[in-house]
Structure 1
Amino acid sequence: MDQSKTRGVNRFRKSPRKPGGISIETRSSPLPTPGNFLTMPTIWDFNGLSPQFSMLSMKDMPSNYQSSPSFLYGSSPTAPIDLMSLKSFSNHASSFVPLSRSRTSSFLPSDATSDSSRRGSDDYILPATRSFSSAAVERPVKNNDFNGYCWSHDGKPRLSRSASSMSSANTKPLLKATQTLLPNWALDTNGHLRARMQLAKVLDSGDLGKFAVDKNGCQYLQEAVKKNLTAYQKYQIFDQVIGRKEDFIKYSTNIFGNFLVQQVIELSMQYHDEDFIKRQEKLKDFIGSHMTELCLDKSACRVVQFALENIDLPLSCALVQCLPRDARLIAICVDQNANHVIQKVVAVIPLQKWEFIVDFVAHPEHLRQICSDKYGCRVVQTIIEKLTTDSRNGDLTVVAQTLRERALQRLMHSVTSRCQELATNEYANYIIQHIVSNDDLAVYREVIIEKCLMRNLLSLSQEKFASHVVEKAFLKAPLDLLAEMMDEIFDGYVPHPDTGKDALDIMMFHQFGNYVVQCMLTICCEAVSGRRETKEGSYDHMNSFHDWLKKLQNRISKERHRLSRFSSGKKMIETLANLRLTHPFFGLHPTGLPSFQFECFSTASEDEDAEKSEIEESRMMLAPRGSPGSHAHDGDDEAGTYSP
């Protein structure tokens, strides 16, 4: 090529070749003819170009490179230098058929229409839905005026046609076919369900199954079932929905059909004809034969719960007996969907019919697996709540009360024997909190405090989840146990031999333990201000609360410079300050003798010089804790633990 013609674009030759790319070389070839047309190479893939070339416009080309179109049909891939001459080939622009938009360059946007993650919440993927590939629809070329030969993305020549010839009306029926499973006779010209659809026609046509698994069709059937139906129409609905096991399972496991099944079951219970008992027996057999599978299904578990609550009690009890008694029952208890079935059984079925569930859960290995699960812990709490609520039910017979007490004892014995393990678990700690907080379970609360918490308060207070249990124990413990817990924190641990820190100092500056100290301070302030009961029988613990508050006040006053740096420390200081403002004369013992006086707490800015002289840990807890079971914190280091 003439060097005078390439002087203006030599700068493009200096661009380095992209790894794995195409050699920068200019070759020319004759224009296509009928004889050599089929030997033409595949067109240039613009996605493979370097970013700087893919962003260039044809109007930026030098005028002296608008004469030769030879690079288009060369025998080798086109060089980037010739791509700068695209402006002279406006008549051949149709040769550049859009290729698949793989995101090979950050400058080339991906095809948003093919991103399935953008599908809305109403765009369901229905089974047996017809679909079509985007490759099946021929894409129009960019130049609408050129009607010659061009290359498609599969490398075969075809006749191009303008975008205007691709009428949108021709593609509408194909698109609507992917959005519904309803038969054609049920749709109007716009592809919508006919406004005056007759239920009798749906039942006689045998297409009820297509309506049941379609969103709009299922909604139509649910509304139609609520209306006044003839006896024959009810017979048809019962026969086609709950008459055969295959159809019943199919509709129950469908995202839409399960709602129709529930509607038909309700209608079946309201219609007392000669087949009433036969229909209920069918429901019991259909559900019972696939109990585990239906419980674990996201849609069918609703049908199981609805049947347990609405069919006759003897048949519901028979369904409960169909639950497995092996590892599958654990899978049901810890499943996101199936756990609701167990909770429904506990709520609506008499205890003697599901007592086997209590025995199964109380097994040591089963209890550990179920209580440690996000959904399994809900099942255990539901069982405990049900057994506790029934204790207040005066309508129960003596036999029922005895059965309830024995079941509760078996479960509580298994829980309390593993209390420390459960208290430190992410989910099982809620079960221990529930027992400690429930006044109806006061006996087991004391067992937990004495067997699990006492002599372990310091270590458990430094646990992320167990610290919640310790707080609940301080708030709900009887006064005699509360006194023992307070004494353990203040005097039950020997100070560390190297640092001299005692248990209270460690807990005050621990990311989780500081919440226990705040709880202790709140309890003492409420007691001395008269907002908390201090008498137990004939003995008054007011003096003890004054002594505990004095110890806390002295320690907070001593460490006020360090505490004022943290939000938890500021809360302790604020609690004492508020108590002084609301009860200025409370600093006297009931005997009238002076107790202690509050000091004015200074802020960190006022004691900046003293603060700088202190040697503190480099990283301490800062952030307040979130919801129960989730302690939020900024620091990761703990102040340290030691044995008593």
Structure 2
Amino acid sequence: MGDQKLLSPPNGSLGIPNPRKLGTSVGGYYGGPPGMGVMAQFPVSPISSPVLPSSPVGGTTHPGRRNDLRYPQGSHRNTGIYPGWQGQRGVNIFDDPKRHSFLEELKSSNAQKFELSDIAGRIVEFSVDQHGSRFIQQKLEHCSVEDKVSVFKEVLPHASKLMTDVFGNYVIQKFFEHGSPEQRKELADKLVGQMLPLSLQMYGCRVIQKALEVIELDQKTRLVLELDGHVMRCVRDQNGNHVIQKCIECVPTERIGFIISAFRGQVAMLSTHPYGCRVIQRVLEHCSDEQQGQCIVDEILESAYVLAQDQYGNYVTQHVLERGKSNERSQIISKVAGKIVQLSQHKYASNVVEKCLEYGDAAERELLIEEIIGQSEENDNLLIMMKDQFANYVVQKILEKCSDKQRVALINQIKVHCQALKKYTYGKHIVARFEQLYGEESQASETSDG
């Protein structure tokens, strides 16, 4: 990955600014190629909400700095769910010329002239076709109550199969969004006894996430309880982890105690897992039980120094620095103090050092900066950091956050190295930032050097 820093958690869990996120989400309607869709948060979400559903990222960051992890969805279109579906007189619907012609019309953007009544009796067939599914989704948003009832009658008996179909799952999701409370309840009843297998299935997990967002709390609670005893299996699964995240987001903590309890003693290990790190962050954001939440944080603090250097654990550590209590921040800062220069040169830990500078109090910040610039004249920590592919970002953060007194010392030290730094790939970043912040002094420096 060269000089690029992995700053954003896999497909976006932590709110770390990164305008170059690669996560995709199909706009408007669902039914793009496999691996995309409402919740293509995978790092998907994981790597979501299958989606992302979950936590957007905004803001700016340094050019070329980070890479997002991408995890392949690993499945092609599931074409075989209704392969033997027979139309009237035993004609296979996939060879039906009328059906083919109708789908061609839909494909060529003439969908507006058709209504749901035009495919009455064939809703399920069309739900498993890319263009048919999109047509049904569009119509369900604005159709009459009568049309919705008619479509629902056809969909409900086949809901379980549609939930795991690459295109059919979006029709089910659309009903959860736009159906009546009673229709939502009936659809959710189809999840009973199926929560674990659906949570582990690529498309089924998206349906469950949507259901957890919209159904009544009591029904939600009953369904989620089916995952009791299977929490860790789901967390480690590329699909199931999104369901656990959604449970934490959408169900009150007092009703999912079994999920939080499953993490006890496992927090550090989960924090270093590509999916587990997201789940732990959701707990930190949504856990309303003070005692349970504190147990999770305490385990993070215990391992903060190790987690700071981990590919995934660094995001969890940053999360506590950003949103934790001041005494929790102080505990993390005390663990990295004395090792700032070496941690700043570390691909992952350098992100944590930046957050320490950003969220520590004035005294803590001054202590950390003093560690870099406050020693003898022979001290070359600053030059080492300015030339380093990762530490140069820490220096840029110091330029933003240091005290007035430290700023004077910094400017003087940087001026001495300005010309030399321009010869280094990463030193150029410092010079550019320096000139941006202190243009006049920088120009004066160059004149005197010349």
TM-score range, shorter chain: 0.5 to 0.7
What corresponds to 1:394 in structure 2? Answer: none
What corresponds to 1:412 in structure 2? Answer: 297
CA shift, 1:425, in A, is 1.7
Please state if 1:302 is matched with 2:302. Answer: no
CA shift, 1:335, in A, is 4.1
Which structure is higher in helix share?
Answer: 2
1:185 to 1:581, Cα distance in 2 relative to 1, 3 A: closer
What corresponds to 2:163 in structure 1? Answer: 252
* 1:182 and 1:217 in contact (8 A); partners too: no
What corresponds to 2:156 in structure 1? Answer: 242
TM score, norm. by length of structure 2: 0.66
Indicate the SS of the match to 2:226. Answer: coil
Q: Which amino acid aligns with 1:340?
A: H
* 2:103 and 2:131 in contact (8 A); partners too: no
Indicate the SS of the match to 1:322. Answer: helix
Runs of 5+ unmatched residues, structure 2: 1-31, 35-75, 84-90
Aligned length, in residue pairs: 366
Counterparts of 2:415 and 2:136, CA distance in 1 = 73
Q: Which amino acid aligns with 1:242?
A: L
1:278-357 equivalence runs, <5 A = 280=185, 283-326=187-230, 329-357=231-259
Q: Which residue of the other structure, out of 126, 134, 137, is the alignment partner of 1:211?
A: 126
Q: Which amino acid aligns with 2:197?
A: E
What corresponds to 1:619 in structure 2? Answer: none
Counterparts of 1:304 and 1:478, CA distance in 2 = 42
* 1:508 and 1:514 in contact (8 A); partners too: yes
Q: Residue by residue, what CA displacement relative to the aligned partner does 1:73-120 show, whole Å, maximum 9, x if unpaired?
A: xxxxxxxxxxxxxxxxxxxxxxxxxxxxxxxxxxxxxxxxxxxxxxx9
Q: Which amino acid aligns with 1:413?
A: D
1:101-500 equivalence runs, <5 A = 126-127=79-80, 181=94, 183=96, 199=117, 202-203=120-121, 208-219=123-134, 221-222=136-137, 227-228=143-144, 234=149, 238=152, 240-243=154-157, 247-265=158-176, 269-270=180-181, 280=185, 283-326=187-230, 329-364=231-266, 367-369=268-270, 371-387=271-287, 404-438=289-323, 441-450=325-334, 452-490=335-373
Identity of aligned residues (%): 27
Q: Residue by residue, what CA displacement relative to the aligned partner does 1:282-321 show, whole Å, maximum 9, x if unpaired?
A: 6455323121221222222222122222222100111111
CA shift, 1:436, in A, is 1.7
Counterparts of 1:602 and 1:374, CA distance in 2 = 50
Please state if 1:520 is matched with 2:409. Answer: no
* 1:446 and 1:477 in contact (8 A); partners too: yes
1:484-633 equivalence runs, <5 A = 484-490=367-373, 502-524=380-402, 527-528=403-404, 546=405, 548-560=406-418, 562-566=420-424, 568-570=426-428, 572=430, 600-601=445-446
* 1:255 and 1:299 in contact (8 A); partners too: yes
1:1-40 equivalence runs, <5 A = none
Runs of 5+ unmatched residues, structure 1: 1-119, 131-176, 388-402, 529-545, 585-597, 607-644
1:239 to 1:182, Cα distance in 2 relative to 1, 3 A: farther
Q: Residue by residue, what CA displacement relative to the aligned partner does 1:34-54 show, whole Å, maximum 9, x if unpaired?
A: xxxxxxxxxxxxxxxxxxxxx
Indicate the SS of the match to 2:223. Answer: helix
* 1:458 and 1:489 in contact (8 A); partners too: yes
Q: Residue by residue, what CA displacement relative to the aligned partner does 1:498-552 show, whole Å, maximum 9, x if unpaired?
A: xx7653443343332233233323433xx43xxxxxxxxxxxxxxxxx2x34543
TM score, norm. by length of structure 1: 0.48
Counterparts of 1:510 and 1:289, CA distance in 2 = 55
Q: Residue by residue, what CA displacement relative to the aligned partner does 1:133-179 show, whole Å, maximum 9, x if unpaired?
A: xxxxxxxxxxxxxxxxxxxxxxxxxxxxxxxxxxxxxxxxxxxx99x
Counterparts of 1:581 and 1:200, CA distance in 2 = 68
Counterparts of 2:192 and 2:103, CA distance in 1 = 44
What corresponds to 1:393 in structure 2? Answer: none
* 2:130 and 2:167 in contact (8 A); partners too: yes
Counterparts of 1:432 and 1:522, CA distance in 2 = 22
1:124 to 1:515, Cα distance in 2 relative to 1, 3 A: closer
* 1:454 and 1:485 in contact (8 A); partners too: yes
1:202 to 1:447, Cα distance in 2 relative to 1, 3 A: same
Structure of larger gyration radius: 1
Q: Which amino acid aligns with 2:280?
A: V
Q: Which amino acid aligns with 2:365?
A: L
Counterparts of 2:238 and 2:353, CA distance in 1 = 29
CA shift, 1:603, in A, is 9.6
CA shift, 1:323, in A, is 1.5
CA shift, 1:473, in A, is 1.0
* 2:281 and 2:319 in contact (8 A); partners too: yes
What corresponds to 1:538 in structure 2? Answer: none
* 1:426 and 1:465 in contact (8 A); partners too: yes
* 1:320 and 1:353 in contact (8 A); partners too: no
* 1:269 and 1:311 in contact (8 A); partners too: no
Counterparts of 1:518 and 1:185, CA distance in 2 = 65
* 2:234 and 2:241 in contact (8 A); partners too: yes
Select between 480-489 and 555-564 the one with higher mean Cα deviation. 555-564
* 1:359 and 1:411 in contact (8 A); partners too: no
* 2:268 and 2:307 in contact (8 A); partners too: no
